Amino acid sequence: MVDFDRRDFLKATGGTVGASLLAGCTGNSSGSDGTKVGMVYATGGLGDGSFNDQAQQGLIKAKEELGIAYEESQPENNSEFASMQQQYAQNGSFDLVNCIGFAQKEALQANAKEFPEQKWTIIDESVDQDNVASYRFREETGSYLVGKMAGMLTQRDFSAGAGATTQGTNTVGFVGGIESPLIKKFEAGFQAGVKSVDDSIEMLSSYVGSFNDPAAGQSQARSMYNSGADIIYHASGATGVGVFRAAQDLGKFAIGVDRAQSVTQPDFADVILASMVKRVDTAIFNSIKAVVDDNFKGGTTTRLGLNDNGVEVAYGDQLGSEIPQDVKDALSQARESIIAGDISVPTQPQ
Amino acid sequence: MNDDSPRATTESQPRWRRTLSRLVDASAKERMVISVAALVLAVAVGFVIVVLAGLAATCATKATVLGVPTPLCYDPVAVYHELFLGAIGHPLSGNWTPLHFRMAVTLQNATLLVFTGLAVAVSFRAGMFNIGVQGQMVLGALAAALATIHLGGVAPSGVLGTLVLVPVGVLAGAVAGGLWGALPGALKAYADANEVITTIMLNFVAANFAYVVVSSWFTPPDSSLVQTANIPTAAYIPTVPFAFQPRDSFSLLGLLFAVALVVGVAYLLARTVFGYDLRASGEQPEAAAYGGVSEKQTMVASMTLSGALGGVGGAVLVMMVQGRWLANLPQLGFDGITVSILAGNNPLGVGFAALLFGVLKSGSAAIGFGTDVPPSLVDVLRGLVILFVAMPEFFRMIGASLGVGGDVDA
């Protein structure tokens, strides 16, 4: 009857545990203002060195600067979104629930209606409900800039770190995660940037079908590099690690996404030319700050682009200094032109 | 003369054989005690792992275990408190009702696992290793979604529509899953293809086939995911008034259906001619063949039944939980293998094993919600419980198949 003992033990201790849990809920940590935030990540989870980790940065910043408390959930697949969102709304003590990634849209549409009192934020999609604040990015503009860089570099002999480009190849590549309108925006911007250098540059493109499959990313990147691509840009979350690995294996370059990946994936800093940083952290921090300031933007979609540093190019930690100045100048010029509206970047691949 | 007594035979056997036969001959009561002891042991081992991981991790605030400050990052007591009690909504915390959201999650997981667990159990009893329940479930789910969506246009709405659409969806799931299961059955019966290999491979075929079909023809244009349209409201398995709410994605009727299938399959195996043939082919294929059982037909039939049960699981997943077919369905088919082993391939046991799984699954989510323990560590703890509880049954199955022990039919 060991089992009975265990339950007895739990019964005796349950009160203490419950009390300590409750203490955590009311946020008794020093400097707390009592705001409590829930977070449901995209599949792929924390530790992807990319999208989800970037989102968490905003949460941590909000904790440090605003003194909020938070809880996180990491779903394993798309069918878990609905119930993970609900566990926060059911709880009733969360002032805001952040839903990371477009895949949560359908689940949130239903839950926002079911829990009208709950405030929600969704990243990368728009949900048209009064209690949902939507944040989206102009990914195509940042992708255009790294596309321009890739296009200029593939046309010359350039070597740095563990990678090199060859003048004759004239080919670049794009590896996407799941084929969707959002990831197509990355592809479209990249393509437009490449073609703005020279229309004859070939762009290979493929979708892995997952944001969490480095092995598949590696094999697709390998075949692209073997077909002549000098530089591959990925928009595929944790899958992208495979792209970096392939670049290292074959002595080519890669471009990271969402975070400065030469910093977050230091093992591959010698092949990462730059990263198209998407400031999901800014969006999360802003949405939390809005709730703390009693200024929640429910029912609206905020779009973050180059001008408000919602997206930006971060040169590689290790390779950035070796990128020729004329390439960097061309990028800052293009950036100004996009902000000024002189260049309009397509959101769908041609 | 003593040589003929079973006791003496046992003594002369090697040690592993004696241990196995001890397991095989264990009575139901002994097996329950073994399971409980295994559970306690798994908790103890997991407890140590949480403590060690809590020592190794870095964190801003150290955990206070039972009111005592510790150098640990994770509180092992809180972890197990959540793992077992979180799943049923903390019954000791006051204001508790059994109709809690967490309970819905637990029962929802358990309900779905009953179908895939039964599917695996039926094939195992027939001596076939159906590793392909996942694929059968995926296609069953797709068939149920497409059938209800397309029939939804002509079917009446309201209760009448439900009376038409739900059975149609379940039937579509059963047919699609059954046909997909029959394929490796036929391949084994008529081409001698190993069903373990073919069913594993057909999982990939099913997943990718469904993905391409849905992304090419059935994904709504404004959708950013690969999925079908929503099934009509009338095609949802209805919820019982005063029980769980529709938003909980769980219906007591779904659970009742699962329980009915458990009883039905148990009856089928124990009391019908087909069930007898099936078990006989699984336990003594040669004797069964000699006794007039058609080996090939039984192979195909048992795999068809197994696949149909998996397909029904997919249909219930669509009509109770997801409301549509969605790429990357949860791995219920693979979990079903563990559920079945845990249950010793006994249909009635599948019900209890699925419930334990449901508690562990829902409890894992509660841990992620209530503590700072990383999800991968939660998976380790969950794996430990399953491993410890399933291992005695697993060895029992091996022992029985080796002919160890006195009473093979136990």
The answer to whether A201 touches A170, Cβ cutoff 8 Å, is yes
**Is A319 in a helix, a strand, or coil?**
coil
pLDDT in tens, A86-116: 989 988 889 999 999 999 999 999 999 999 9
What secondary structure does DSSP assign to A116-177, as a single string? TTS-EEEESS---STTEEEEEE-HHHHHHHHHHHHHHHHTS-EEETTEEE-TTT-EEEEEES
| Cβ atoms within 10 Å, residue B10 | 16
Give the per-residue pLDDT at A7: 45
The pLDDT, as a whole number, for residue A32 is 57
pTM over 0.95: no
Write the DSSP assignment of B164-185 as a string of letters.
HHHHHHHHHHHHHHHHHHHHHH
Measured CA to CA, the distance from residue A292 to residue A34 in angstroms comes to: 9
The DSSP secondary structure of A284-310, one letter per residue, reads HHHHHHHHHTT---TT-EEEE-TTTTS
Q: Which residues of B32-50 are buried (b: 16+ CB within 10 A; e: fewer)?
A: eebbbebbeebbebbeebb
For the stretch A302-318, pLDDT in tens is: 999 999 889 999 999 99
pLDDT tier for residue A334 given thresholds of 50, 70 and 90: very high
Q: Edge-to-edge strands of the sheet including A301-304? A: A69-73, A36-40, A96-100, A120-123, A132-137, A301-304
Chain A contacts of B233, Cβ < 8 Å?
none
DSSP label at residue B377: H
How many other C-beta atoms are found inside a 10 Å radius of the C-beta of residue B73?
Answer: 20
Question: Which residue in the set A74, A86, A102 is minimally distant from B375, CB to CB?
Answer: A74
Q: Which of B36, B322, B370 sits opposite A21 (nearest CB)?
A: B370
Residues of B with Cβ-Cβ distance to A16 under 8 angstroms: 66-67
Tabulate helix, strand, coil % of chain B (nearest 5).
75, 0, 25
- A109 in contact with chain B, both atoms CB, cutoff 8 A: no
How high is the pLDDT of residue B221? 84
Lowest mean pLDDT among A55-69, B4-18, B226-240, B314-328: B4-18
| Run of H or E including A9 | helix A2-25
Measured between CB atoms, does B208 come within 8 Å of chain A?
Answer: no
The 10s digit of each residue's pLDDT in A42-73 is 987 888 778 899 999 999 999 999 999 998 88
Within 8 A by CB and 6+ apart from A312, the residues are A142, A276, A277, A279, A306
pLDDT digits (tens, 9 = 90+) for A6-52: 444 444 444 444 444 443 433 334 345 689 999 999 987 888 778 89
Least reliable range by pLDDT among B26-30, B178-182, B316-320: B26-30
Tell me the nearest-neighbour CA distance from A126 into chain B, angstroms: 12
Count of beta carbons in the 10 Å neighbourhood of residue B368 = 22
Is A114 in Cβ contact with B211 (below 8 Å)?
no
In 3-state terms, what secondary structure has residue B244? coil
Report the pLDDT value the prediction gives residue B248, as an integer from 0 to 100.
83
Considering only CA atoms, which of B384, B320, B253 is closest in space to residue B105? B320
Cβ–Cβ below 8 Å for B368 and A72 = yes
> How would you class B102 by CB atoms within 10 Å of its CB: exposed for 0-12, middle for 13-18, buried for 19 or more?
buried
- Distance between CA atoms of residues A285 and A123, nearest Å: 12
Report the percent of chain B where pLDDT is more than 70.
Answer: 96
- Chain B residues with CB under 8 Å of A2 CB are 36-37, 40
- Chain B contact for A26 (CB, 8 A cutoff): no
The C-alpha atoms of residue B212 and residue B73 are separated, in whole angstroms, by 45
Return d(Cα A298, Cα B16) in angstroms, integer.
67
Yes or no: say if B345 and B363 are a contact pair by the CB < 8 Å rule. Answer: no
The type of residue at B128 is M
